[in-house]
Amino acid sequence: MKRVFSGIQPSGDIHLGNYLGAIRNWVLLLDQYDCIFCIVDYHAQTIPYDPQAMPRRVMNAAVANMAAGIDPKRCRLFVQSHVKEVTELAWILGCVTPLGDLERMTQFKSKTQEHQLGSNLGLLAYPVLMAADILLYKAELVPVGDDQIQHLELAREICRKFDSTFGPVFPEPQPLLTKTSRVMGIDGKTKMSKSLNNTIGLLETEEQVWSKLKVAVTDENRKRRTDPGNPLVCNVFTIHQGFTQDSQIAQIDKECRSAGIGCVDCKKILARNLEAVMAPMRERARHLESPPDEVRQILDEGASACREIAVRVMDEVRVATGLRDARRQQ
């Protein structure tokens, strides 16, 4: 089985955008590949954060992912900083990464502006750490959203550069492009994102979901109930695609275009379908959280399994780069 690796930001609450754009696709990979999923707390340190809140964020990310179907019995789920070898590999890979490549990354440029940090080295080196994540486990396939494709391309380049200089050690990782839908926030305009405060959380209650859905922007050209709507420009319709059966979607499409149903009706149908998926997730999350050590234990087991791979690969890297003399014991 080919190995798949992907990283999850511990960025507060997991929302519908994360679910439809990533997690739901990962669940489909569990039985086809040897999957490793990593909660990337080192990456989360590249922008200002509250250290007191970090452990909770990591736990929430673990619980939400497991509740959404990332079954730790069928993959490895672990916390990035629990396998410290990744920092050593990031250092070594950094030494074969051209500075110019890092400086032209769009995420580096936008985050530098957004957080007005000037430049900090962590933010600049972010893609090197990401390359280290992937290569440390010799992953061959990496499912990523379109915002991370540039980073993955750079990781592939770093891999080639390392292998041509010191290798061969690593297989060149390939992107695993899965069907994703780009879900906007409830403002209907910008990508659903925690920092933009426009999300619907995956573990929110029915009431919380409705309070947000109620005010979610639809087709802005549809001013009156009697106006026909255009589903293609409606974010509520986009979310329907993730939670509603095809036959019902076809009907909504038709009745929206002919003003047969209004936006409130359409949202009510969506609320019902969301609840059908989300109620069992909340239930699973509650179970996972009730003995609080259980999640921790799952993450510990994930880390031990990953550490075993990491130690072996780092030994190879140390020999290849001359940090360890192959003719001597350790």
Residue 29: CA count within 13 A, CB half-sphere:
27
**Size of the chain in residues:** 330
Give how far Cα 268 sits from Cα of 242, 272, 282, Å: 15, 6, 20
Q: Which is nearer to ligand TRP, 59 or 256 (CB)?
A: 59
**What is the Cα–Cα distance from 247 to 170, expressed in whole angstroms?**
46
Residue 194 annotated to the active site: yes
The residue among 157, 154, 162 whose CA lies nearest residue 93 is 162
Shortest reach from residue 17's CB to ligand TRP, in Å: 12
Shortest reach from residue 125's CB to ligand TRP, in Å: 12
The residue among 85, 62, 81, 72 whose CA lies nearest residue 36 is 72
Shortest reach from residue 148's CB to ligand TRP, in Å: 5
Cβ atoms of residues 250 and 261 within 8 Å: no
Residue 267 annotated to the active site: no
Shortest reach from residue 134's CB to ligand TRP, in Å: 5
The residue among 47, 26, 32, 29 whose CA lies nearest residue 194 is 47
Torsion from C-alpha of 195, 241, 32, 59, nearest 10 degrees: 30
Q: Which of 2, 138, 191, 212 is catalytic?
A: 191
Shortest reach from residue 105's CB to ligand TRP, in Å: 11
**DSSP string covering 183-219, please?**
-B-TTSSSB--GGGT---BTT--HHHHHHHHTT----
**What is the Cα–Cα distance from 308 to 306, expressed in whole angstroms?**
5
- Find the largest Cα–Cα distance for the chain: 81
Residue 84 annotated to the active site: no
Shortest reach from residue 48's CB to ligand TRP, in Å: 16
Q: Which is nearer to ligand TRP, 43 or 222 (CB)?
A: 43
Q: Which of 161, 194, 212, 268 is catalytic?
A: 194
* Site residues for ligand TRP per CB under 6 A: 5-7, 9, 40, 43, 130, 133-134, 142, 144, 148, 151
The bridge status of strand 174-176 relative to strand 141-143 is parallel
Q: Which residues are catalytic?
A: 111, 191, 194
